[in-house]
């Protein structure tokens, strides 16, 4: 086994980002992008995708709004948004978010 396998501290990577809510792709696994971002207390507007999107909260919490339904996703939890479903993030979300998508 190679000694140069990539190891990334996700929380450090998110903290190093210059702007909250701007994700960066850290790599790919099984054809999916692995992204990280830093959440602040600001809301994030409605969006939808042609693919499923996994939202994994590492620390803090994300206040997800799925078509008017509020879902609190806390540290250690993942929420998978089905393709085509509009979703937004309500104010008060904070911490580190990992996104797995296409």
In the three-class reduction of DSSP (H, G, I as helix; E, B as strand; rest coil), residue 67 is classed as coil
Question: Does 4 fall in a domain?
Answer: no
Question: Does 1 fall in a domain?
Answer: no
Give the number of domains in the chain. 1
Residue 84: give its domain's CATH number.
2.60.120.10
Burial of 12 per CB tally in 10 Å (0-12, 13-18, 19+): exposed
Asked if 52 and 31 touch (Cβ cutoff 8 Å), the reply is: no
Q: Report how far residue 13's alpha carbon sits from residue 41's, in angstroms, rounded to the nearest whole number.
A: 19
pLDDT at 3: 67
Give the domain range for residue 16: 10-101
Per-residue pLDDT tens, the chain, 102 aa: give them.
456 778 999 999 999 999 999 999 999 999 999 999 999 999 999 999 999 999 999 999 999 999 999 999 999 999 999 999 999 999 999 999 999 999
Q: Report how far residue 8's alpha carbon sits from residue 11's, in angstroms, rounded to the nearest whole number.
A: 9
């Amino acid at each position: 086994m190679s000694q140069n396998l990539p190891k990334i501290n996700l929380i450090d990577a998110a903290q190093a980002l210059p702007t909250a809510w701007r994700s960066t792709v850290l790599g790919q696994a099984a054809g999916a992008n692995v992204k990280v971002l830093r959440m602040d207390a600001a809301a994030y507007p409605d969006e939808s995708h042609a693919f499923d999107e996994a939202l994994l909260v590492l620390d803090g919490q994300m206040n997800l709004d799925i078509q008017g339904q509020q879902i609190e996703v806390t540290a250690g939890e993942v929420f998978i948004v089905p393709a085509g479903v509009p979703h937004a993030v309500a104010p008060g979300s904070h911490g580190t978010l990992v996104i797995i998508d296409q």
